[in-house]
A and B are shown apart, each in its own frame.
Chain A
């Protein structure tokens, strides 16, 4: 189903990225290319900088005052930290799903319609409804919620809430979807559903996922990057990383010797 990663177009390219929180350096000189329409997993022990790196990709770190970033991150050959790039527009192209499901305290419909509304993607109500329904369909939720679009999204189960958040991200037609441990608050069945969904979405979206579960990384991703103490230790095809890691630290981590 998937083509060989190395010959594919790279959607995002990080070049010598450093991130500082105040005095503390969180990420050291990371360079890494992310393939288009592929799932890339970022793994590593807590505090290794993988979430920080993920948040660099849609400039969510801009919100934090003390955070300073240097280096380049190219998306389709444009530096997303360039002066002419508006972070608000960037975030519409690079959607994000968070660790804890965070649907807005609004109806299911309004949650999905939020993005299209603020970006003016629909010119009338029927278009908006089409966007909402197709996003729910892509997120595999349509059968579960189609009869109760006006119910509170916060009343759904945790797994459904997380899929609402994914549908909400899809609704603005992003090119990249970033997922920050999207299953860490979910039970195994909900996790399986999300993983299945990610697999389907990877045909049309570039997905970068941070995960603490090595099984998850092995199951869903095509490429895996291993982070340790702010350094990128190893980046390779997932199969390679989990069967023949080149670095001893990677070996130790995936076999559970530390982390």
Chain B
């Protein structure tokens, strides 16, 4: 039996659907010629309708079989292996099964006759699956295409049908985005719940001590882990606050300059340059923070008699602020330029200077957008990982001193999940607790951002 790989089936599917596009288009012209009546819409819509009906459902079936089919075959063979080795536990059977699959795919060889037979059967089953997959998909495409072409009469409103079909596709795309987000949240939630089974929720939420050093082996002597998230959250807030102290003034002022004062030529250079800042990978900012900014702050601090830690919140926050400038400046620039020219004229016509116009008319009118831009930037700062991993430090201290080293939620998640960790360990699971807390934090911020900007825009609309 020959195999029908996915790409091949897909090409045939496209071919069949295209055939029905032209077929429907031609046949509607003939049909309307026969009854001497113009078709209700352009002939191309009849073709599109046939194409969509033959292509999209078959495509969905193709995806479905490709995703579920191999799983189904695996399950059957799992049962087969279990039958042959009733005494083994599940994980050992999985091991044997993966060996069978690897042999079937020719990745490894084996002398074991039992496995060879199973592998051979597995290979045949998979080929059969692929064959039927191709058959079903192409049959489905042909039948649906034929059916739609047959059912379409010149009086059918094909344009309406095509548009409805496409609107539904848009709807499904929107739903997919939402479902994906929902499933991410759920997976986060379930892992976090496992953590809260092992550790008291309120101690996590309000605890003032963060020290996730649990014993790796049960016989190892080590302190029990302590997971109070407040110091970690405080670190995040401190670094974000420093970042916003840098980003808000610089971003806002450069936006005002770009939107109101810059000559078009200067603007043409400055705006793209600012946007390049947004394109620099955060890990590069991380180098900059750890290798340039942090030593700089330490040396300057030292020269005026301040002791600055070599991994300071100040360095991480300042560099993060620089990273965020283009977000604020670009969004604010758009918002300020969106204020209608008529308001500027009105203000100038009353004898206001440019500065008065900006301060009293333009900025108030742009306020909802500016608030939105700033809050988005805050969310971004809180979720930022790479810069703080490289420049902020690991020790969880409850401090408001920007010269000290602090750790952030994201840094802790990274350090908890990298390296040799067990996935049912409390230390690992605590990362999900942190992740959930972080998620809710930014969620609340975004909700506030939306409400504030909506309320303000009602006032200023």
Contacts and interface: CB of A to CB of B under 8 A. Distances in A.
> Do they bind each other?
yes
B346 A105 contact: no
Contacts of B347: 104, 114
Given A100-B342, A118-B356, A105 B349 contact: no
Contacts of B459: 105, 152
Contact of A102 (B263, B346, B360, B364): B346
Contacts of B364: 104-106
B343 A98 contact: no
Interface in A65-123: 65, 88-93, 95-98, 100, 102-106, 114-115, 118-119
A135 to B, nearest CB: 12
Contacts of A114: 347, 350, 352, 360-361
Interface string A193-231: 000000000000000000000000000000000000000
Interface string B358-375: 001100110000000000
Given A114-B360, A118-B356, A154-B461, A102 B340 contact: yes
B349 A118 contact: no
B349 A88 contact: no
Contacts of B263: 65
A58 B348 CA distance: 10
A254 interface: no
A163 interface: no
A105 B460 contact: yes
A181 B67 CA distance: 67
Interface in B311-349: 340, 342-343, 345-349
B349 A98 contact: yes
B351 interface: yes
Interface string A151-163: 0101000000000
Interface stretch (A10-18, A41-49, A165-173): A165-173
From B343, B348, B350, residue with most partner A Cβ within 10 Å: B350
A172 B342 contact: no
A60 B353 contact: no
Contact of B350 (A63, A65, A91, A105): A91
A161 to B, nearest CB: 11
A66 to B, nearest CB: 11
Contacts of A106: 364
Contact of A169 (B349, B356, B361, B365): B349
A89 B351 CA distance: 6
A172 B263 CA distance: 31
B351 A118 contact: yes
A217 to B, nearest CB: 22
A98 B348 CA distance: 12
From B349, B356, B360, residue with most partner A Cβ within 10 Å: B349
Given A98-B342, A100-B342, A106-B364, A115 B460 contact: no
From B347, B364, B461, residue with most partner A Cβ within 10 Å: B347
Contact of B351 (A98, A154, A172): A172
Contacts of B348: 60, 63, 91
A114 B346 CA distance: 11
Given A105-B461, A106-B364, A154-B461, A169 B342 contact: no
From A58, A105, A106, A115, residue with most partner B Cβ within 10 Å: A105
Interface of A: 58, 60, 63, 65, 88-93, 95-98, 100, 102-106, 114-115, 118-119, 152, 154, 165, 168-169, 172
Interface of B: 263, 340, 342-343, 345-353, 356, 360-361, 364-365, 459-461
Given A65-B263, A104-B347, 13 more contacts: A96-B349, A98-B342, A102-B342, A102-B345, A104-B361, A104-B365, A105-B460, A105-B461, A106-B364, A114-B347, A115-B352, A169-B350, A172-B351
